[in-house]
Structure 1
Amino acid sequence: MQATRWTSTVSARATSTWYLRRLGDLTFAVVENLVVDQEGRGNGIGQALLREVERFCLSRNCSKMMLLSSASRVDAHRFFEQVGFHGDRKRGFVKYRSRFAEAT
């Protein structure tokens, strides 16, 4: 499996981290840490970031874009659905380093 990672930044108000994964003939994108600060919200910054990722994905023939978001970010989830993401198609799970098993 190959992965390539990018970070996109629009001024100090917004940033996102995203990467492409290739698994056999399948290429897909995962977007995480899309953050637009409170004062920058509602100005199209988040849409612009996601549009750029989407254009790039189209150029790389990605089969899909997946987006990770904290479960408590209800306003962000509404935004993601407004720009075409579906929150009811998959379910994500996270295990943080502090919960990793000790090496034996």
Structure 2
Amino acid sequence: MHTRRTVVGGSGTELTVGLAGCGALASPEPSVTETEVDGGLDTLIGETEVYVVVRNDGAAGDVDVTLELLDEDGVVLYEDSQTVAFEADESKRVTFSVDVPEETEEVTATASAA
């Protein structure tokens, strides 16, 4: 016969085991290895393509790749993101087509597990 204390105590153990299993799931571990502007930084005005190379050193999964264009004070003038599926230990080149604002001084890119 189960008492309330036995049922509640047993459920707590099952919940802990269930959560411990979730924590063990692997996820992508992305990093940006290269950012290249089509035509070089001197052509950073108008419509252009920016290429971001991302390396995933973790498990397969979706990765959010974000591109930012900044002015000389670090103010974000443009931001765009793409979600890209990666396999384990894979590198990919992600292309952003952007209309670069005239005040752009810096290009940054980041990648994180989605």
Q: Larger % of helix: which? A: 1
Q: Scaled by the length of structure 2, what TM-score is found?
A: 0.26
Q: Scaled by the length of structure 1, what TM-score is found?
A: 0.28
Report 1 or 2 for greater relative contact order, CA contacts < 8 Å, sequence distance ≥ 6: 2
